[in-house]
Amino acid sequence: MQTVITAGRLYTPLEEIERPLIFVEDGMITELRSQTSREIPADSSVTDLGDVVLAPGFIDIHIHGGAGHDVMQADPAALPAVERLLRLHGVTSYVPTTVTAPVDLTLAALERLADAIEAGEKSGDGELRARPAGIHLEGPFISHARRGVHPPADLLPPTLETFERFWEASRGHIKIITIAPELEGARAVIAEATRRGVCVSLGHSDADLQATQAGVAAGARHATHVFNAMRPFDHREPGILGEVLTDDRLSAEIIADGIHVDPLIVRLFLRAKGAEAAVLVTDATAATGMPNGRYQLGSLEVDVKDGRCVAGGKLAGSVLTLDKAVQNVMKFANWNLQQAVRLATLNPARTAGLPSSLGCIVPGGAADMVALSPSGEVRTTIVRGQVA
């Protein structure tokens, strides 16, 4: 049966539609109109969400876990638990992110994540939760100097042979790879990954300006959690940050929790990258949605207290949720809801090379949406046309 979903306002996110009518069949959007231009057919099932703002479902392209579970865990209950938590915060698609670990553990995790992606593509189990849309490989091709909490013993030089092993284990589902461009062999891996349609992201890097520009020339087009795990900016030696903030070919992600970067720096970042190239991510760990305590991040143990996730005294991911990141952008930079929503929907979808029907509300696209208050709080999440 055809379902019609309506609300007070819709952000596609590029367009704003007052009193929208969203026609849905079999989980897909068939028509998008306004109540001023179209009547609701008498035989339709109507879901009126009231005076909320509808937007595309959020997409997190850098997330390690949540609800007490890590995405690299072998436990079959891990991903469903993460996905239920994500749905509560408006996320309908995500890109599970690995952390540097022994190669065998990484390969096994990539295979499990590929299984989950393919199961979601076929049908899913009907439960309302976020779906994995690809894999983000963060490490092991990163700098020792800027490794953060990634285990130094498991870092590897970038080689085509190792990349091929990861690619085969993922069955081609790697969408993003974070790499330090200054490492020997990095440019060859960047070029090959780019050739295969992977978004190469510069991060965990001590690169100077020349090495960064060489990485961009080889095909890199994104930057991982900007300012964190990067050579600091210097006005005479701008390094990787100078290139990331000024090169219009690069999109870039930021963890807007007020902990990883100061709110003023979030404002500076948004001015530099603008509405088209800025991407909000969480870098969330298993501790997200959980009380203070000790949790897993890949093969590491991390401690969480008062919103800070640390290992060995260093920040180790976050407990941020994407809805809170959207609200923080509104607060830190005085952006409106429509502007902030784009950074968590259309921009991450384009960055990761996800299907064009994700990250926006258009006929022919999946009916994945989030209902928000005017200040960005999640009221409900809609997955494949089903209202949670």
Q: How many CB atoms lie within 10 A of CB 238?
A: 17
Give alpha helix (H) positions in 5-152.
78-88, 103-122
Residue 341 CA neighbour count, 13 Å, CB half: 29
Give the C-alpha separation, 134 to 342, whole Å.
20
> Which residue in 206, 283, 323, 368 is the catalytic one?
283
Structure tokens at 162: 């190792």
Q: Are 308 and 315 in contact (CB under 8 A)?
A: yes
Give the C-alpha separation, 22 to 46, whole Å.
10
Structure tokens at 51: 């005076």
Give alpha helix (H) positions in 252-321.
263-277
Q: Respond yes or no: is residue 125 known to be catalytic.
A: no
Give the C-alpha separation, 330 to 310, whole Å.
27
DSSP category for residue 219: T
Q: Is 250 helix (H, G, I), strand (E, B) or coil?
A: coil
**Which helix or strand (DSSP H or E) is residue 160 part of?**
helix 160-170
Q: Are 354 and 176 in contact (CB under 8 A)?
A: no
Point out which residues pair with 73 in neighbouring strands: none
Query: Kind of pairing, strands 314-315 and 308-311?
Result: antiparallel
Of residues 131, 138, 53, 54, the one with CA closest to residue 91: 131
Residues serving a catalytic function are 283
